[in-house]
């Protein structure tokens, strides 16, 4: 289990099922230290607003609520769909290549789009599911750029658990991070209570490839929270 889960959804995402309090209560009951609720940005119909971020503070005693958003690339603007007025609230900014983009544009195009936003946005903390086969990426170029900016690449438990990413691609992603020395976060990307905090689908791949423990930000709660703290300056600055 992950003790600080940095990527999960509530019903403020169209695809999420539960409320903030339900997700945090489950996290607390599992013995987790913190949970980032990272609902989708507006390009995917996410409904997170300043009211939620401004007024909801650690609503469940015993577990820390990290405020996040899973943002999307807005290609014609070379930016992400993070409403600038929300940035001051956020602990975690996740960016993923998602179906708001046209499918079938090819690895070079998606890689270039992602590298552009990595270079333009110092607030990005995590690149979500780079192993999504619908949006192929050049792992090496993404890992090199991410490492330079202190960004983590995600190993997404749901994509593997739901068989939405082939293990061969996931292995290739992990091997690239080992070779480049790019840090990773293991996240559940939970959309339902039973998915929260889980790493059981991807943990065997990390073990099989002898992934260095020091490259895993989510290996323990202290390290994960220190990562969030270290990224705070970029967002407030
Ligand atoms: Zn995503
Ligand atoms: Zn997600």
pLDDT above 90: residue 180: yes
Q: Which residues surround ligand 2, an ion (CB under 5 A)?
A: 70, 189
Sign of the C-alpha dihedral, residues 203, 205, 207, 211?
negative
Tell me the CB-side half-sphere exposure of residue 62, using CA atoms within 13 A: 11
pLDDT above 80: residue 235: no
**pLDDT (0 to 100) of residue 145:** 98
Looking at every residue in the chain, the average pLDDT score rounds to: 96
| Residue 233: band (very low, low, confident or very high) from pLDDT cuts 50, 70, 90 | confident
Question: How far apart are the CA of 164 and the centre of ligand 1, in A?
Answer: 12
Rounded average pLDDT over 64-76: 96
Ligand positioned closest to the Cα atom of 130? 1
Question: How far apart are the CA of 129 and the centre of ligand 1, in A?
Answer: 7
Question: How far apart are the CA of 7 and the centre of ligand 2, in A?
Answer: 6
SS (H, E, C) the chain: CCCEECCECCCCCCCCCCCHHHHHHHHHHHCCCEEEEEEECHHHCCCCCHHHHHHCCCCCCCCEEEEEEEEEEEHHHCEECCCHHHHHHCCEEEEECCCCCCCCCCHHHHHHHHHHHHHHCCCCCEECCCCCCCCCCCHHHHHHHHHHHCCEEEEEHHHHHCCCCCHHHHHHHHHHHHHHCCCEEEECCECCHHHCCCCCCCHHHHHHCCCCHHHEHHHCHHHHHHHHHHHHHHHHC
CA 107 to chain centre: 20
| 110-160 tens-digit pLDDT | 999 999 999 999 999 999 999 999 999 999 999 999 999 999 999 999 999
Q: Which two tokens stand for residue 40?
A: 């989708």
% pLDDT > 90, the chain:
95
Question: How far apart are the CA of 16 and the centre of ligand 1, in A?
Answer: 12
The domain spans of the chain are: 4-236
pLDDT above 90: residue 53: yes
% pLDDT > 70, the chain:
99
| 183-222 tens-digit pLDDT | 999 999 999 999 999 999 999 999 999 999 999 999 999 9
Question: How far apart are the CA of 189 and the centre of ligand 1, in A?
Answer: 8
pLDDT above 90: residue 93: yes
Rounded average pLDDT over 81-92: 94
Question: How far apart are the CA of 106 and the centre of ligand 2, in A?
Answer: 22
Rounded average pLDDT over 55-70: 97
Question: How far apart are the CA of 233 and the centre of ligand 2, in A?
Answer: 24
CATH architecture of the domain 4-236 equals Alpha-Beta Barrel (3.20)
**pLDDT (0 to 100) of residue 146:** 98
């Amino acid at each position: 289990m992950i003790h600080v889960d940095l990527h999960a959804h509530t019903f403020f995402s169209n695809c999420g099922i539960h409320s903030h309090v339900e997700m945090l209560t489950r996290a607390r009951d599992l013995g987790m230290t913190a949970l980032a609720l990272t609902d989708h940005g507006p390009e995917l119909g996410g409904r997170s607003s300043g009211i939620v971020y401004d007024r909801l503070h650690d609503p469940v005693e015993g577990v820390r609520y990290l405020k996040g958003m899973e943002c999307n690339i807005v290609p014609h603007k070379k930016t992400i769909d993070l409403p600038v007025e929300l940035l001051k609230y956020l602990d975690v900014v996740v960016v993923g290549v998602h179906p708001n983009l046209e499918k079938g544009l090819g690895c070079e195009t998606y890689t270039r789009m992602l590298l552009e936003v990595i270079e333009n946005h110092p607030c990005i903390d995590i690149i979500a599911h780079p192993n999504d086969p619908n949006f192929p990426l050049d792992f090496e170029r993404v890992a090199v750029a991410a490492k330079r900016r202190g960004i983590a690449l995600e190993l997404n438990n749901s994509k593997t658990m739901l068989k939405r990413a082939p293990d061969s691609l996931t292995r290739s992603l992990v091997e690239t991070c080992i070779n480049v020395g790019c840090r990773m976060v293991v996240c559940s990307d939970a959309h339902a209570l039973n998915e929260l905090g889980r790493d059981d689908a991807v943990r065997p791949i990390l073990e099989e490839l002898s992934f260095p423990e020091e490259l895993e930000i989510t290996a323990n709660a202290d390290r994960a929270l220190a990562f969030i703290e270290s990224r705070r300056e970029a967002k407030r600055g």
